[in-house]
Each structure stands twice: as structure tokens, then as C-alpha cells.
Chain A
Amino acid sequence: MSVFVTVGSTGFDELVRAVCAPEFLQALTGRGFGRLVVQCGSSVGQFAPAPAALAASGIRAESFDYADQPQRLVEEAELVICHAGTGSILDALRSGKPVIGVVNPGLMDSHQREIAAELARGGFMAVAEPGSLAQAVADGAYAGLRPYPRADPRPLGDILDEETQR
């Protein structure tokens, strides 16, 4: 089983460092994961798991800054861990895979936290911070989530039609 970690279009140093930590790698092993794929964005320099920790966990890890086909990497994964930005969350939820959204505690923007909390309340997504991510994985916080309903923008088209029919 593999887990796909994505920081989105910019960077997220704390998240990239969190997925290199020995306790996170151990949590993955504990949950039966064998492969870790990390899209780091501009935080690519932060990806440096200790070789000993990797060897101890038996995890095969790979990292890069940006992916040509991120959607394919999502499809291949059994768990998606993403930065809790709106775009990243929507992309991850659309895949139907279990998602842990990681809120950036350093960011002033409280909407990220709001939306992550709201989706977690609806049971669509698990939420963590970089510091609590390993525990969330170890606890299986991503299990038993509800699939997020498919996006349907057609009502907007109907509204435009209503407004222009004169």
C-alpha cells in the first residue's frame, strides 16, 4: 500500500519535515503502508528522512518538487495526505481516497482551518497539523470516512440561463 503526500502549488516545510520523521514512518509501517510518495513543491529541500529510520521502517520513499500527472499518483495511493488549501483538498476529495488535510499552523489565513474543520465535521476528511500527523496515521483517523459527493456545477449554468432569458 502507498501513501501520497502533496503540498500543492507552493511549499509547506513543516509538512515535508513531518513525513520524514521516524515516528511518521513507523506509523505508516504500523498501518501496513510500504511506499511513501511526496510532492514537495518549493519545500523539496526539506525532504531528508534519515536512512536509518527508512531502513528500520522498511518504507520505500520517493520525492520530487512537482508531478506531471498528480492525479495519477493520487489514483495509485491508498491514502492521500495533503496541505489543507482549498484546491488541494478538492482535488484529493474528488479521488474518493481517504484524505488527511494538514493545516499549516504558521499561516494567518484562518479559512483553511475553517474549511478543513467543516469537512472533518461532515466526516469527509480527517484533519491534522504537522505535529499531530504521525499520531493521526497511527490512530487510523482516516478510516471510515464518507465519500465526498461528486461536484456538479450545472446549477450555475441554469442560473446563468435564467438570468439571460429575455
Chain B
Amino acid sequence: MHLPGPLACGAVLLAALLALRLYFVLPAFGRSVGAAARRKGKAAARGAPTKLLCVVLGSGGHTAEMVRLLQGVDFERYARRLYVVGRGDALSLNHVAAVERAQGGSHHVGLVPRSRAVGQPWLTAPVSVARCLWHVAALLYDYSPDVILCNGPGNCVVVCIAALVPRILGLKHIPIVYVESFARVHTLSLSGRLVYPLADRFIVQWPGLAQMYPRAEYIPYLV
């Protein structure tokens, strides 16, 4: 009989530890530390120290919806904003300029390569996703946001995955808030399905989706 080498044993042990850690940190399993505590009243939030909000701008209609959503966010509390924008997305840059005009605090735009261009063959996707992930991870490391707000598509999945790394390592829990597009009435988008197990709060704008996905919160008329 051939005994497994120490390398194989180590790998199995590491995988098991990672699985156990994911079980404890992923919101999907309901064991996310502090989740219940955070839900207790929001009055205490007012007057608290300012926070850094990371906003992931998808493109086109997603960015337009995000602009509407940001009108509900208190920029005095989120005194610093980090916008993650896909390289070449001029429309999103214009929207950032419009949103930030006459706003206090500070903001920064982080340009990242697209995780997958429209029509790009799936075979080359892993390379571009890895490149995007690298840029996103560097941004998150530099800015260390306190919360991530995203509404798809593409890059937002990469940002959410990168945001899990400090959580898995026990360094910082960066909550992820995902808002599914108003255009999604009966089914989640691909980004929505991918982010669903990762997001601390998952918001849908039509009631049917909340029935299908128990962790989703239905909030109408957000946009």
C-alpha cells in the first residue's frame, strides 16, 4: 500500500480548513459573525465616524440605476467614496462626475480592466478575470473600504470575491450589499446568482424573487 506523502496530507488539511473557514464567514450559511448584532437598530449609526464606501459601477443601465440608488446614501457618513469603473466605460465616469459634483468629502475612481468584454470567447475569460482580480485586490488593499455596494454585472463578482480574502484571513469583514436590477422580475441575473451566497445583504426589487431566494430582501420603488 502506498501512503500519501506529506504534501498531499497538507493539501487536504488546508482544503478542509478553508472549507471550514468559508462555512463560518460566508453569509450563505448564516454563521457570519456579527450579522445579527449589526441588524440591531440603526440609530447608533448616526454620528458614528465616517466610512469609506466602495461603489462598483457596472455599465449602461446598471450605472444609471446605481446613480439613483446613491441618492439614498448619506455622503456625510460615507465621507470617502471609491468607485470601481471598468476601463473604457466613459459613461460611468460621467455619472461619477455628476454624482460627486458639489459633494463634500473625497472620492477616487479606480479603473480596472474588464473581467470579460462583450463577445469575448469564454476560453480566454480566466486570463482576463485573473487580471481584473489582481487590479481589484490592489484597490481594496490600498483603500480598505468599510462596505461594498454593487448591482452587477461582470466586475462586481470579481470585487465581491476579492473582498472575501481579508474576511477569510480574519483581517477585516467588508460587508457586501448587492441590489439586483429593477429589470429582473422573475429570474436573477448571472451576477446576482454568483453574488447571492457572498452578499451580506441581497436586495431585490420585485416580490417574486424574494419568494425564490430566502435570503433576498424585497424593497420596492428604490429607483
Contact = CB atoms under 8 A, between A and B. Distances in A.
Contacts of B220: 149
B77 A86 contact: no
User: Dominant SS at the B interface?
Assistant: loop
B96 to A, nearest CB: 17
A87 B45 contact: no
Interface in B192-218: 200-201, 203, 206, 217
Contacts of B34: 166
Contacts of B73: 153, 156-157, 160
Given A115-B183, A151-B223, A157 B48 contact: no
A156 B146 contact: no
Nearest to A118: B185
Contact of A87 (B64, B149, B184, B201): B64
Contact of B61 (A85, A156, A161, A164): A85
B167 interface: no
B174 to A, nearest CB: 10
Interface in A130-166: 149-166
B185 A115 contact: yes
User: Dominant SS at the A interface?
Assistant: helix
B147 A163 contact: yes
B149 A160 contact: yes
Given A87-B64, A160-B177, A151 B221 contact: yes
Contacts of A115: 182-183, 185
Contacts, number: 99
Nearest to B179: A156
Interface stretch (B7-15, B36-44, B115-123, B129-137): B36-44
Nearest to A165: B45
Nearest to A90: B223
Contacts of A162: 38-39, 42, 45, 201
A62 interface: no
A111 interface: yes
B222 A111 contact: no
Contacts of B219: 155-156
B177 A155 contact: no
A118 B182 contact: no
Contacts of B53: 160
B67 to A, nearest CB: 10
Interface string A51-87: 0000000000000000000000000000000000111
B78 interface: yes
Nearest to B74: A157
B69 interface: yes
Given A114-B185, A166-B38, A161 B45 contact: yes
Contact of B183 (A86, A156, A161, A165): A86
**Residue from A85, A153, A160, A161 having most chain B Cβ neighbours under 10 A:** A160
Contacts of A118: 185, 206
B4 interface: no
Interface of A: 85-87, 90, 111-112, 114-115, 118, 149-166
List the 10 closest pairs (A to B, CB-CB), nearest first.
Answer: A153-B72, A161-B45, A163-B175, A157-B72, A165-B45, A154-B72, A111-B183, A114-B185, A86-B183, A156-B72
Interface of B: 34, 37-39, 42, 44-46, 48, 51, 53, 61, 64-65, 68-74, 77-78, 146-147, 149, 175, 177, 179, 181-186, 200-201, 203, 206, 217, 219-223
9 contacts: A86-B183, A87-B64, A115-B183, A153-B71, A156-B69, A156-B73, A161-B77, A164-B45, A165-B44
